[in-house]
């Protein structure tokens, strides 16, 4: 049937609930967009995504980055690394899901010893070219030793995982005592999702979990980190252009996102406006992205 929002809502009892991907309690159907259904957990509040068609991760992400890598926000990476260096110095760093290696290149240039993991075969060559030590596969299969890394970095990875808490616990295991976690993931409580609902481009079959600031902070603490700091940032302006996907959703285009970012960063007035908007979004908790710093 079709609900008041225009979304199809399954009437099948078999599809009206699932196990929460965080706490494994029962999660009830919240929205069904056709290509992906969202389930809200009444126990912990986490939103679990269930695609209508299961695709193995090695198939889904085989060519994820394409032939041309988007430009990297090097200034942001330098800012984040400077913050980490002020606390733990320049030591051993792991980036999980390193993509085409933009963050790794900046870290190596600053004197870090860098390991990276990546499941997409399309970027392994580019990662080897950075000079980092590369593991092709999931971080849980890399078998890193306990307390190995001074800084563990996971940028826009957590939302893709079927078992995000188990993943965070693995990151906690390999972060040394006093070491840091730097993590980003979309904010389900952000302005774009609140206004656009299922049209928000982050809602996609490849995304299996959606965090709010509170659910993310709780999961990071459960993974063994302390002094957890979570803030929201950024406005996903590309989401506001109506697309042709399910419910009018606009699919993610990393090249377009990079072009918008580079345009803003290269224009003084736009850059100042972005800074002001980010400050307001952070204060109100309405940014579309969550940024986490946590100490082990």
259 occurs within a structural domain:
yes
pLDDT of residue 10: 39
Q: Is the dihedral of CA 182, 189, 75, 256 positive or negative?
A: positive
pLDDT of residue 235: 80
pLDDT of residue 16: 83
Q: Do the Cβ atoms of 194 and 235 come closer than 8 Å?
A: no
Residue 134 sits at the vertex; the CA angle it makes with 128 and 135, to the nearest 5 degrees, is: 140
> Would you write out the chain's pLDDT as a tens digit for each of its 296 residues?
223 333 333 334 346 889 999 999 999 999 999 999 999 999 999 999 999 987 766 666 665 655 445 556 788 999 999 999 999 999 999 999 999 999 999 999 999 999 999 999 989 999 999 999 999 999 999 999 999 999 999 999 999 999 999 999 999 999 999 999 999 999 999 999 999 998 898 999 999 999 999 999 999 999 999 999 999 988 876 666 666 667 666 665 555 555 655 565 555 665 566 567 677 777 777 899 999 999 99
Q: Do the Cβ atoms of 181 and 12 come closer than 8 Å?
A: no
- Please name the residues in contact with 162: beta carbons below 8 A apart, sequence gap of 6 or more: 21, 208
pLDDT of residue 54: 78
Domain count, the chain: 1
DSSP summary character for residue 188: T
Provide the terminal-to-terminal Cα distance of the chain, rounded to the nearest Å.
Answer: 48
pLDDT of residue 188: 97
Q: Do the Cβ atoms of 248 and 204 come closer than 8 Å?
A: no
d(CA 98, CA 208): 19
Find, among 219, 209, 213, 99, the residue nearest to 162 by Cα. 209
pTM of the model: 0.83
Residue 136 sits at the vertex; the CA angle it makes with 164 and 215, to the nearest 5 degrees, is: 10
6 occurs within a structural domain:
no
d(CA 283, CA 233): 9
pLDDT of residue 106: 97
Residue 109 sits at the vertex; the CA angle it makes with 105 and 115, to the nearest 5 degrees, is: 55
pLDDT of residue 280: 77
pLDDT of residue 236: 76
The residue assigned the tokens 């979570």 is: 230
Domain span including residue 198: 17-54+183-291
pLDDT of residue 3: 34
């Amino acid at each position: 049937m079709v609900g008041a929002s225009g979304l199809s809502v399954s009437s099948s009892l078999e599809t009206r609930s699932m196990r929460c991907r965080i706490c494994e309690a029962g999660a009830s159907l919240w929205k069904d967009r056709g290509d992906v259904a969202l389930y809200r957990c009444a126990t912990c509040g986490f939103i679990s995504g269930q695609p209508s068609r299961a695709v193995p991760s090695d198939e889904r992400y085989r060519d994820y980055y394409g032939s041309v890598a988007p430009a990297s926000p090097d200034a942001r990476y330098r800012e984040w690394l400077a913050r980490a260096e002020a606390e733990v110095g320049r030591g051993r760093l792991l980036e999980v899901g390193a993509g085409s290696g933009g963050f790794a290149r900046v870290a190596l240039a600053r004197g870090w010893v860098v390991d990276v993991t990546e499941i997409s075969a399309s970027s392994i060559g580019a990662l080897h070219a950075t000079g980092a030590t590369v593991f092709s596969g999931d971080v849980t299969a890399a078998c890193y030793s306990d307390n190995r890394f001074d800084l563990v970095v996971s940028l826009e990875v957590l939302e893709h995982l079927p078992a995000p808490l188990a993943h965070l616990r693995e990151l906690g295991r390999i972060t040394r005592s006093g070491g840091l976690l730097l993590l980003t993931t979309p904010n389900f409580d952000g302005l774009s999702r609140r206004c656009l609902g299922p049209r928000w481009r982050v809602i996609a079959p490849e995304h299996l979990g959606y965090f709010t600031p509170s659910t993310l902070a709780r999961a990071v603490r459960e993974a063994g980190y302390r002094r957890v700091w979570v803030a929201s940032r950024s406005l996903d302006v590309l989401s506001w252009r109506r697309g042709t996907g399910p419910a009018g959703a606009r699919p993610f285009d990393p090249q377009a996102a990079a072009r918008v970012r580079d345009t803003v960063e290269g224009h003084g007035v736009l850059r100042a406006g972005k800074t002001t908007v980010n400050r307001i979004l952070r204060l109100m908790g309405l940014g579309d992205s969550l940024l986490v710093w946590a100490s082990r």
